[in-house]
Amino acid sequence: MDSTFVCQQLASALQSRQWMMATAESCTGGMIAARCTDLSGSSNWFERGFVTYSNAAKTELLGVPATLIALHGAVSEAVAQAMAQGAVQRSPVQASVAVTGIAGPNGGSADKPVGTVWLAWSVDGSLSSERVVFAGDRAHVREATVQYALQGLLSRLK
């Protein structure tokens, strides 16, 4: 599904509840927030985006414990969930999406190959997460992450 169409549906779902959303992004570098704010009127449902590319930024801006990153790695379920929770705790929002991953072409390992992305969503206090491994080059992994993140939030709002 086209991300513009998904954003339009997301906008409707959030506005019908009078909710706002935030993003917490690492590997996508703000692309999810950009896609949301491409829509006119997005200020009615999009509050803010956190681009926390470095581990220090995850800790400083979202409150992700440095010990959590050291223990599990930045690309992990625990960190993605902490990012999603941090975005909600540090913004006046009811919904958030967080992504952390290895877009490549470097940085992969046997446990976490290039294309590995952890996504987490917080919707009205309910936290969920998913690990996906996307194929393709850096641009494709990032774009696929944006699509998956937006679709995932929309499905959790329905």
The single-letter code of the amino acid at 71 is L
pLDDT tens, position by position, 34-92: 999 999 999 999 999 999 999 999 999 999 999 999 999 999 999 999 999 999 999 99
| Residue 1 reports pLDDT greater than 80 | no
Q: What is the pTM of this model?
A: 0.97
Report how far residue 130's alpha carbon sits from residue 99's, in angstroms, rounded to the nearest whole number.
10
pLDDT tens, position by position, 89-126: 999 999 999 999 999 999 999 999 999 999 999 999 99
Nearest to 99 by CA among 11, 38, 23: 23
Show the beta-strand stretches assigned E in the chain: 21-25, 46-51, 95-101, 116-123, 126-133
- Per-residue pLDDT band for 2 (boundaries 50, 70, 90) equals confident
Give me the count of residues in the chain: 158
Instruction: Report the SS3 class of residue 116.
Output: strand
